[in-house]
Structures are given as structure tokens and as C-alpha cells.
Amino acid sequence: MAFAFACGATLLPVNAGFAATSADARAASAWIARVGDEAIPRRPTEALLMLARREQPDLTLQELTRLLAIDLLMGDAAAREVGDAALFASRRVAFAPEVDARRQWLATLQQVWPERIERDWQAAAPEMPLTVDARAWQALWASGQGDRLRMNEDLDEAQLAAAARLVLLRHRGFGGRPAGAITLADLWPLQNVQGRRLLRAGDLDFARAQARQLLRERFVESWLRRDSGWSAAELDFARRVIEARQRKLAWQRWWGLTGDPHGDAPLRDALAAAVTPDEIEAYYRAHRDRFERLESVEGLRLRCDRAGCADEAPVPDLRGRPGVTRVVWRLGDARPQADVDAWVLDLLQAWPVGQASPPIRHPDGEGWERVQALSVKRGHHPADSETVRHEARQAVALEKLEARWQQRQVELLASAGLRWAPGITPPERSFEPQRPTPAGGEHGHAH
């Protein structure tokens, strides 16, 4: 679920600012529900609801509150049972999770007061003119290895010291803070592997753009804490929700519910190894359409190199046409090695049998192709084939994982308890655990 903040008829006027009144103080401290020992505050939750309703117009405040409770519980369980080191094992190449969470938090909260933040940003105009020391920039990378792959992307001690001295942007004071500067050392920990390589390759324009982005982020955070009218606890709750969801999604990947279906996933792999022959057979019978395979193709192809070929009036039958060649492929034959021939084979099996295609631009860009499938036969992989065994194991394991994932939500919510604030009516709809979506949507088909 994406999040953005806005206001509805029943919400506090978040775009209008807040006066320091006792009514506002009571509103800021109000809560909707408690999950375990944690309160879910009203104002951030109502704001989150408005964003969620952009995609789910019928979502109620109580239903969203329950979803937030699940995110918090699942995120905490992931941190407790697996730990961030395993959940975010790819952090060497991806953005660090704390960097990603902070940026999501700022991007989300900017949608509460977009006009006010933009107006104040324009009025502050914090960036000051600066000419970056190009010689120092070039010298920093002179002894490096350019954009070559390296096992460790960290800067060495000398580079770190030089990066701390290399100023990319100076800015005026804002939010009660003094004027300051952004150095390369400020940017380095905020990059993923692509960003680090761009910096190492000497892309100064990229570095300056990153410095401007960091300045904007610092300005927004300062604005939120000074001018939003929200308490520190409310701002931090919004961040905690984002961090919890980040961990929950990482936990799904760790389980093997999302991400690379062929990647390492201890739980999924263990379940797949334990799938029985009876389970494989039952899955095969219930999902034979997922094990369809191509068994033979016979057809015709006509290559036309003339520029006007595409404008010719199509004829319904290519048989007997000059230049027509026959294409025959049967199960057991090697797939064509040439990309051109493989393309024609794919085109033949996709085109309706008996119908000649119109001229189709050839992928080599130098001509046109017409095809006519005379026969296309499809069958199924045998039940005892390795293809069926492998894919059925994976699919059955995934079904079991999904059931466990949903059951885990039920157990955590029942254990922690969700207690509603006075005056809040529990949701009308019964709780339905969230079902993760496997990578690529539905289970893949055998080929």
C-alpha cells in the first residue's frame, strides 16, 4: 500500500497549520487503538488513510488501523527473529535500509503540506553559489580504479579525509540552524552501488545533484519538526510505520514469498524438499494447464527485403508463393541457435493456424517477414518429468508458506491484542490476513 497524507471531512486541517491551543494538544495526543503496549495515534493514521484511499476509496479508518497494527507486529517479529543483517543482506549493493526508510518517510510526509513546504523552500532559497574545486575532485579519484567492479566500495582513510574537505554545496541557514555545507563525505553513505560507481567515475554533475537532494531532505525534515504542528511522537510514528513495513517486506523475501523465485530462501527450500510424490501428483492434476509444452510446429516463412513489402496487400495463403521456405520443429529437436530462426519459431506458434500473417518488421531491422502456421501441436510435460517435480515442489511449498504467513499475522494480532479507544467502533469486516503476492504474480508456467 502506498501512503500519502491529505485531509478529509473528518480530519484535522493539516494543511492549515496549527495554533498552540489546548484543543490541538488534545487532538495531537489522541489515539485510535493500542496494539500491545503501543498506541496508534489518531492524526498520523487519519492522514495515512487519505493517501491509502487514493487506491482504496472504501478503506475505513478502523481497517487501516488494523493493517498498521499488523505491519508493526510483523516488522518487530522480523527484527526479533531474523535480524536486520539477514533481512537486508543486499545492503552492500542497495541503499542502506535506514537511508531508504528516511527517504520514504520524508517523501510521504511532504504530501501532508506540499504547498507550504514548497513555498517556504522557494522563499528560503538556501543554496548558495559555489564553484566546486575540480582539481581536488579529480585528484580524489586519480589513484582509484575508475568504474571497475570491486569487492569493497568503501573509501580508504585518505579518501575519507579528502571527501570531508571536498565541499559540493554551501547553504544558508534555515529552520533555526546556521549556514553550512554538504561535502562528499556526507553523500557517500547515502549511495547504493550505482551511485558509488558514478562518484568514483568522476561524475561531478551527479555528485552536485545528490548534494542538492540532500539539502532538500534536510530542509524538509527541519520544516516538519518546526512548522508542521505535529509532535515529535507523531512524526516518529509515521517513520516507525515505514520502517516496520520495510522489515515486513524484507521478511517476505527472506521466507521466499517475494523476490527471486530461484534465490536463496531457507524456509521455502526446506518446504520444497519435503513435498511428497502424492502432493506433486495432486498439484499436477489440479494445474495441468501450468505444465503445457510445445510439441511440434510446421509452417511457412517468407522473407521480403524490398522496402515496399510492408505495403503489399496481404494474401491469405503463402503456399506456392515464390521465396517461401518451410519450417519444421518437433519436440526433441534443438532450439534454433540463430536469434532470427528462434524469432520465426516463436512467431509461428503465436500466430493463428492457417492464417498468413501480414508483413512484420524483422528484428534485424533489414527486412520484413510473413509467416503461416500449418500445424501447431501442444501437449503436457509427463507427470514424472523433472520439470513437473521441480515446479510442483516450488508451487506447493509457496502455497504452504502463504498459509503460514497469513496464520502468523493472526497469531501475532491475537497475542498482542488490539484495543480500540473509547468511541471507536471496531471494523465491520472481519480480519483477513494479508496475502503476499509472489514475484511475477501467479506461479509460472512450465515451458
Nearest CA to 255 out of 388, 414, 439, 94 is that of 439
- Is residue 333 classed as helix, strand or coil in its secondary structure? strand
Q: How confident is the model at residue 306, as a pLDDT?
A: 62
**Given this model, what pLDDT does residue 3 score?**
53
Grid cell locating 206: 551527479
How many CB atoms within 10 Å of residue 306? Answer: 10
Q: CA–CA separation, 433 vs 402, rounded Å?
A: 10
Q: Which residue has the cell 509472489?
A: 438
Coil, strand or helix: which one is 296?
A: strand
Name the pLDDT band for 442 (thresholds 50, 70, 90).
very low
| 384 CA to centre of own chain | 37
Tens digit of pLDDT for each residue in 231-243?
999 999 999 999 9
Rounded-to-integer distance, Cα 31 and Cα 267, Å:
37
3-state secondary structure of 84: helix
Order of strands across the sheet that contains 127-128: 127-128, 167-171, 180-183
- DSSP labels for 409-424? HHHHHHHH-EEEPTTP
**H/E element holding 34?**
strand 31-35
Cα gap 226→389, rounded to integer Å: 60
pTM of the model: 0.77
User: How many angstroms separate the Cα of 25 from the Cα of each of 8, 18, 224?
Assistant: 20, 10, 17
- Using alpha carbons, list the distances in angstroms from residue 233 to 44, 55, 238: 10, 27, 9
DSSP SS3 for 172: coil
pLDDT band at 11 (very low <50, low <70, confident <90, very high): very low
Mean pLDDT of 126-151: 78
The average pLDDT across 416-433 equals 90
**What crossing angle do the helices spanning 232-255 and 42-52 adopt, rounded to 10°?**
50
- Quick one: pLDDT band at residue 136, thresholds 50, 70, 90? very high
Type of residue found at 18:
F
CA distances from residue 443 to 252, 391, 396 in whole angstroms, order as listed:
16, 9, 10
Query: Sheet of 418-420: strands edge to edge?
Result: 38-41, 31-35, 418-420
Contacts (Cβ under 8 Å, ≥6 apart) of 26:
none
Cα(224)–Cα(29) distance, integer angstroms: 17
pLDDT 10s digits, 241-296: 999 999 999 999 999 887 566 667 888 889 999 999 999 999 999 999 999 998 99
**What Cα–Cα distance (Å) separates residue 144 from each residue in 14, 140, 264, 309?**
50, 8, 33, 54
Distances 382 to 280, 386, 387 between C-alpha atoms, Å: 12, 9, 9
Q: Distance between CA 225 and CA 235 in Å, rounded?
A: 8
Pairing of strands 292-304, 325-330: antiparallel
Share of the chain above pLDDT 70, in %: 84
pLDDT at 263: 64
Mean pLDDT for the chain?
Answer: 85
For the segment 194-235, what is each residue's pLDDT rounded down to a tens digit? 999 999 999 999 999 999 999 999 999 999 999 999 999 999
Rg (CA), the chain: 30
Strands (E), 305-407: 325-330, 360-361, 368-380
Q: Dihedral through CA 424, CA 426, CA 429, CA 435, nearest 10? A: 100
Q: Cell for 105?
A: 518517510
Residue 188 in contact with residue 196, Cβ under 8 Å? yes
Q: Are 50 and 7 in contact (CB under 8 A)?
A: yes
Contact 10, 401 (CB under 8 A): no
- pLDDT (tens digit, 9 = 90+) per residue, 187-198? 999 999 999 999
Q: Report the residue count for the chain.
A: 447
